[in-house]
Amino acid sequence: MKNLPIKTIALVILITILALGYHTYIHLNIDRERFDNSWGYEKEVSISEMNAEPLIVSYKDNILVISYKESGALLYKIISKNGKIIEQGNEEISKFNKNKVGNVELVGNEIYFIEDNNLYKLAFNEGDGFSNKIIVKKNIEGFNIVADSNFTLYNSKEIYSYDYTDGKLIEKDYFSLKEDNLIDAFVLNKNGNSIIITYRKLSSEEIVISYNLANFDREPVEIGKIKSTYNIYIGKTKNAYNNGIITISTSFKEYGQQGTETLKKQIYSINLKNQKLIYSTLINSNKFKLVNNFEDFSDLGKIGNDVYLIGSGVNRDNQYVNKNDIFITKINSSGEFYDISFISNTFKYSQNPVL
């Protein structure tokens, strides 16, 4: 038997090494793969000790980010648009306690929140942090900000509409309802067109969502009903305004007789110009297309000429991760979602996204 040439043996060894190296490289990349080939790396800009949505707003030429300590106190950071921390600090619990307040919103350099059925605000100034709390209006159980500059304040029977201009709230309309059953409300005034959306608790098992012209000169139009066997959770309602159309998403939990719990979302859209309901759709978040374990919190926002929903859930097409990642999707004129893209790829649980 002839001896193999040294060059042949070396070539075989080299090919084997290259094949093993390529095989190892492929498997290492599979381990890192999440969903999309265009991923970058996330950059930590803040930290929160509490599982709650952060607050984010443009501040001068930078970004102001608010999160919370476990005690409920505020953590704040001013961050440049490339992620550099310019200033950071925290506030005493005497000014603000997330564990004891509701409806927290950040507008401009001011935080608005409900405490003891009153609306308060804290003003932020660079270098000084937040001011002491200032009372805005008493006997208010909740509020919503619609299309950035329309404030809706309400209690169980009254609705107040305000314009937010140059850091000041200017009252525009007041509505008094016959029934004492209001649990949420939106008033939108744009270009002389006004509508009012109400969430009314008809019974312990039913909430009806409807809208009307702000002058109430016609019968209300029913948008949908939220039904549950023995308890209804409603909240985390978000909205986006785009080209005369308001889109609203409301999260709630439906409870069954055996203690079953199903997260659902009522998403609807209204044309403000002709006061027509464009669509109203109910989503079972356990069966959301392409996403499992859809979280109760999601956000709506306008990017260009499109309305987007951003949320958190498990990517069904990614077999390598079983924890929630953040996704973003467009909503079309029929209330259907398309162009779903996952935008986080961590080994940790990603939730509470804000757009």
Least confident of 217-221, 264-268, 289-293: 289-293
Neighbours of 291 (CB within 10 A): 24
pLDDT digits (tens, 9 = 90+) for 292-326: 777 777 788 888 888 888 888 877 777 777 778 88
Q: What is the pLDDT confidence band of residue 35, given thresholds at 50, 70 and 90?
A: very low
The predicted-structure confidence for 244-258, as pLDDT tens digits, reads as follows 888 988 888 777 777
Model confidence pLDDT, tens digit, residues 231-240: 666 667 888 8
Burial class of residue 1, CB neighbours in 10 A (0-12, 13-18, 19+)? exposed
pLDDT score recorded for residue 160 = 92
Is the pLDDT at 139 greater than 90? The verdict is yes
Q: And the tokens for 303?
A: 């990017």
pLDDT greater than 90 at residue 62: no
pLDDT at 119: 92
Q: What's the average model confidence in pLDDT over 274-278?
A: 88
Give the range among 37-51, 89-103, 115-129, 213-227 with minimum mean pLDDT. Answer: 37-51
What pLDDT does residue 120 have?
93
Does 272 have pLDDT greater than 70? Answer: yes
Residue 39: pLDDT band with limits 50, 70, 90: very low
Please tell me the chain's helix, strand, coil percentages from 3-state DSSP, rounded to the nearest 5.
Answer: 10, 50, 40
**pLDDT over 70 (residue 346):** no
**pLDDT of res. 36:** 47
Q: What is the Cα–Cα distance from 341 to 329, expressed in whole angstroms?
A: 6
**Which pLDDT belongs to residue 103?**
82
Q: What pLDDT, on a 0 to 100 scale, did the predictor assign at position 285? A: 64
- Edge-first strand order for the sheet with 85-90 is 55-59, 62-68, 74-79, 85-90
Q: Which of 87, 141, 83 is nearest to 109 (CA)?
A: 87
* pLDDT at 4 (0 to 100): 55
Residue 176, beta-bridge partner list: 158
What b/e readout covers 226-243, taking b as 16+ CB neighbours within 10 angstroms? bebeeebebebbbbbbbe
Choice among 144-153, 172-181, 279-288, 329-338 with the minimum mean pLDDT: 279-288
Distance of CA 309 to the CA centre of its chain: 8
* pLDDT at residue 333, as a whole number: 81
Residue 74 corresponds to which amino acid?
L
More confident site: 6 or 210: 210
For residue 150, the Cα-to-chain-centroid distance in whole angstroms is 18
Distance from C-alpha of 305 to C-alpha of 225, rounded to nearest angstrom = 30
| Cβ neighbours of 264 (radius 10 Å) | 18
Whether the CA torsion 231, 308, 270, 174 is positive or negative: it is positive
The secondary structure of 40-96 as a DSSP string is ---------SSSS--EEEEETTEEEEEEE-TTS-EEEEEE-TTS-EEEEEE--TTT-
Q: In this prediction, what percent of the chain has a pLDDT beyond 90?
A: 8
- The model's confidence at residue 345, banded by pLDDT at 50, 70 and 90, is low
Closest CA to 313 of 332, 328, 330: 328
CA angle 195, 196, 198 (to 5 degrees): 150
Q: What average pLDDT does range 271-291 have in this prediction? A: 78
Q: Is 318 exposed, middle or buried (0-12, 13-18, 19+ CB in 10 A)?
A: middle
Q: Residues of the chain with pLDDT > 70: what percent?
A: 79
Strands 102-107 and 110-115 come out as antiparallel
Q: Name the helix (H) or strand (E) containing 31.
A: helix 6-32
The confidence score (pLDDT) of residue 98 equals 85
What does the mean pLDDT of the chain come to? 79
